[in-house]
Amino acid sequence: MSLDFIFIGLIILILAGGGVIWMVSRRKSGTRMTSHDLEINGLNLLLQNRPQEALGVFLDLARRDTNNLRVYMQVADIYRELGTPRKSIDIHEDLLNRPGISDQFRMMIYQSLAEDYEALKQYEKALDYARSVLKLNKRDPWAIQAKHDLHRTAGNWAKAIRAFERLKSIKPDLDERIPVLYRVEEALEKLKAGDTSEATSLLKQAIKMGKPVPAAYYHLGQISQKSGQLKHAIDYYTTFAELEPELGSLVFPEIEKMYFELRQFDSVEQFYTRLRKHQPESVDIAVGLASHLERKGELEEALSIVDEAQMHKPDSRRLSLIRVSLLNKMGRADAADDQVQRMLTAEYRKNKLTCKYCGHKAEYPIYLCPKCGKITFDHS
């Protein structure tokens, strides 16, 4: 074998070896995820509700590139989500001290710091950072919303009302009764503190503010009743019942009691009759009037009221039970028994003719549900 051949062979081996080394290194670098890939992976983990794993990814990224402020923001926000907002605050405050950060990024940090302190229930501190955002952009939607929400959460009702007005300028569809309700809450705080006079004043302000909120009338009724101002209490309770017919039964017994204390016995019936004209379908009003007539011994009239109410609410168990009671007191046992049987049949049909899986109702026992397609042979 000549020296030239050996030399050529060595060159071929060297070149081949270099190629292998290059291919191996190329393969290794191909499997190593780029920073961008890691960031996408971390975000996917967050979407999958795996914050602890995401935190590990973003911490690795932060070690790779200490100038990637966006990654540090992710780390801090994850710490807050994991229940350690103090760590989040440390990172966010460090980011604020970085030189050359833009106003836009500074606003993002302020927002996160507000959320950190809200997590710690330090609402004034959180508000400070919401205000900091507004100093940079007085029309920032997040900060306007946050000021309102933080005042409400902290129970700063007067400030919440002012914040609501500003919020409504960017969200005109908000319910106008909300600030009225805040005024009621402010009144209840005064009431708890024993300041009945200020509470009454605030509740009356609430009534004048805008759309009526039933709660204001209810609490004014309570205050008036306790102070012996029975006529005022009746008026407030009546308005409450008119505005909130489904809760009328809360105040009907009190109204009856006060009318009796005032010796205005006929006013009870007039009260219920007046309400029924405006709310003929209200079960509470029908029950109240029927019960009043029953106590007066006017059983036929009471039964008539119940029968009329059942035309509007045929499935009402309360009306059915009162009807049974009235029929028994009238000595009509057969009719009472018939009413009980109808109630039992209705209850049986309700339970037996309803699909236990999806609630679909039918006129016959369901074995193969036409709605959800499930099969059952157990109708117990």
195-204 long-range contacts (CB < 8 A, ≥24 apart) are 196/223, 196/227, 199/223
How many whole angstroms separate alpha carbon 16 and alpha carbon 19? 5
Assigned domain for 84 exists: yes
How many whole angstroms separate alpha carbon 213 and alpha carbon 181? 7
Assigned domain for 158 exists: yes
* Mean pLDDT over each residue of the chain, to the nearest integer: 83
Assigned domain for 119 exists: yes
How many whole angstroms separate alpha carbon 126 and alpha carbon 149? 11
Assigned domain for 231 exists: no
- The amino acid sitting at 147 is K
Q: What is the pLDDT of residues 302-322, one digit of tens each?
A: 888 888 888 888 877 778 887
Six-digit token string for 372: 């959800």
Q: What is the pLDDT of residues 132-174, one digit of tens each?
A: 999 999 999 999 999 999 999 999 999 999 999 999 999 999 9
Assigned domain for 187 exists: no
Q: What is the pLDDT of residues 1-47, one digit of tens each?
A: 443 433 334 343 344 444 444 334 434 444 567 877 877 887 888 88
How many whole angstroms separate alpha carbon 327 and alpha carbon 333? 7
CATH of the domain at 141: 1.25.40.10
13 burial class (0-12, 13-18, 19+ CB within 10 angstroms)? exposed
Assigned domain for 68 exists: yes
Cβ contact 293:301 at 8 Å: yes
**Mean pLDDT across the stretch 67-87?**
91
Task: Collect all residues with Cβ–Cβ distance below 8 Å to 183 and sequence separation of at least 6.
Answer: 157, 161, 202, 203, 205, 206, 209, 216
Q: What is the pLDDT of residues 91-147, one digit of tens each?
A: 999 999 998 899 999 999 999 999 999 999 999 999 999 999 999 999 999 999 999
Residue 137's pLDDT is: 96
pLDDT above 90 coverage of the chain, percent: 43
* pLDDT of residue 81 exceeding 70: yes
- The amino acid sitting at 342 is R
* CA 148 to mean position of chain CA atoms: 16
Task: Collect all residues with Cβ–Cβ distance below 8 Å to 297 and sequence separation of at least 6.
Answer: none
For the packed helices 35-47 and 51-64, what is the interaxial angle rounded to 10 degrees?
Answer: 160
Assigned domain for 89 exists: yes
Give pTM, 2 decimals.
Answer: 0.68
Q: Which of 156, 50, 140 is nearest to 104 (CA)?
A: 140
Q: Which of 232, 275, 229 is nearest to 252 (CA)?
A: 275
Domain hosting 81: range is 32-166
**Mean pLDDT across the stretch 343-371?**
64
Residue 361's pLDDT is: 74
List residues bridging with 368 in a β-sheet. Answer: 375
What is the number of domains present in the chain?
Answer: 1
Assigned domain for 45 exists: yes
How many whole angstroms separate alpha carbon 103 and alpha carbon 95? 13
How many whole angstroms separate alpha carbon 252 and alpha carbon 230? 14
